[in-house]
């Protein structure tokens, strides 16, 4: 039986990857110490997801290890020698990073280095897939000429008709401390690929979402927005008239792409993994779609100041991914994703 190690296994992408590869016959080793509850409080707790995995996957082994435990990580990799590693664990919030800069950098940058070095020593032939972020581009996408439409901003430059490609600059922009720590991790993953010839991939995610997301205000755009809608809570819009645009990709389609890469890995690759232009929405458009499905009115307040380093408009150019893996494509539409998230929250609220 093949073995896969998934860090952040109780999170959105981690848990989806666990289920996906369990269905392919892998033995799943999940690494998670519920650090999200430390970062975000009780609302960020993911133990329910850990329990779900333990109950639904027969070949699931949980490892309660912190990414910052260098010796613990090295011992685990040498003991397991996994056939593939999917690294999704992180401190994921812009705003939170500013309050806990050492925890953020030690988790995102140093924790990733701990994983990479353990892989190099224990199983350098095993594909290593790293969940990076589009925040490695900082606020540079805001320098693109924009046009304001009724409910959204969009690019007013034909060069970006398909969105942001992997060649876009990551320099000379404001990243937030979170974005900076993820840049460090992203570049290190590429370097371990090139320098040591390890099959690595950096997946620079757009808005990753799905029914198993524990969305909070500081992280988890659609999940938190829908939760506010269902609970009748007010949602805070931060700047840009609520017309800021994101591309949204269902966690299942993320897991499918990871599978394609692991099956035919490449060295030191980078992919902008998002929903693409077809799966974009602004906050105002997300309000309308949530209301149309749930039947509940969206309550919100507007704060005139935008978040530091926030994107006015961002969606991923998926052409490189589709060129390298032509059998992969988005399978979950934006509407279907909303419906699943709404159903997921309703089930948890019972």
pLDDT of residue 215: 84
| pTM (2 d.p.) | 0.95
Structure-block tokens of residue 49: 């997801």
| Number of domains within the chain | 1
CATH at 341: 3.40.50.720
Exposure class string for 306-324: b at 16+ Cβ within 10 A, else e: beebbbbbbbbbbebbeee
pLDDT of residue 350: 67
Structural domain span for residue 65: 3-349
Mean pLDDT by 10 residues, the chain (350 residues): 97 96 98 92 90 97 97 98 98 91 98 98 98 96 98 98 98 94 98 98 95 84 95 97 97 98 98 97 98 98 90 98 98 97 89
pLDDT of residue 213: 85
């Amino acid at each position: 039986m093949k073995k896969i190690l998934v860090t952040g296994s109780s999170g959105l992408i981690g848990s989806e990857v666990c289920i996906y590869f369990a269905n392919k016959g892998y033995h799943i080793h999940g690494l998670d110490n519920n650090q999200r509850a430390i970062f975000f409080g009780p609302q960020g707790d993911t133990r329910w997801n850990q329990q779900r995995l333990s109950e639904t996957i027969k070949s699931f082994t949980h490892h309660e290890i912190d990414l910052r435990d260098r010796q613990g990580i090295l011992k685990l990799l040498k003991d397991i020698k996994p056939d593939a590693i999917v690294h999704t664990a992180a401190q994921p919030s812009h705003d939170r990073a500013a309050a806990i800069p050492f925890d953020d950098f030690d988790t995102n940058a140093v924790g990733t280095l701990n994983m990479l070095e353990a892989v190099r020593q224990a199983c350098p032939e095993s594909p290593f897939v790293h969940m990076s972020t589009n925040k490695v581009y900082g606020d540079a996408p805001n320098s693109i000429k924009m046009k304001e439409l009724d409910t959204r901003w969009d690019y007013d430059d034909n060069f970006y008709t398909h969105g942001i490609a992997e060649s876009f600059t990551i320099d000379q922009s404001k990243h937030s401390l979170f974005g900076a720590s993820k840049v460090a991790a992203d570049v290190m993953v590429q370097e371990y690929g090139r320098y040591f010839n390890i099959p690595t991939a950096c997946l620079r995610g757009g808005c990753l979402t799905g029914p198993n997301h524990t969305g909070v205000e500081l992280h988890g755009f659609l999940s938190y927005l829908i939760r506010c809608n269902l609970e009748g809570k007010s949602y805070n819009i931060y700047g840009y008239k609520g017309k800021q645009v994101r591309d949204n990709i269902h966690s299942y389609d993320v897991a499918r792409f990871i599978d394609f890469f692991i099956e035919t890995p490449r060295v030191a690759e980078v992919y902008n993994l998002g929903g693409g232009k077809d799966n974009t929405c602004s906050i105002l458009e997300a309000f309308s779609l949530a209301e149309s499905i749930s039947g509940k009115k969206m309550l919100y307040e507007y704060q005139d100041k935008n978040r530091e380093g926030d994107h006015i408009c961002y969606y991923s150019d998926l052409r490189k991914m589709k060129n390298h893996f032509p059998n992969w494509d988005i399978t979950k539409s934006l509407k279907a994703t909303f419906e699943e998230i709404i159903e997921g929250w309703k089930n948890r609220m019972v």
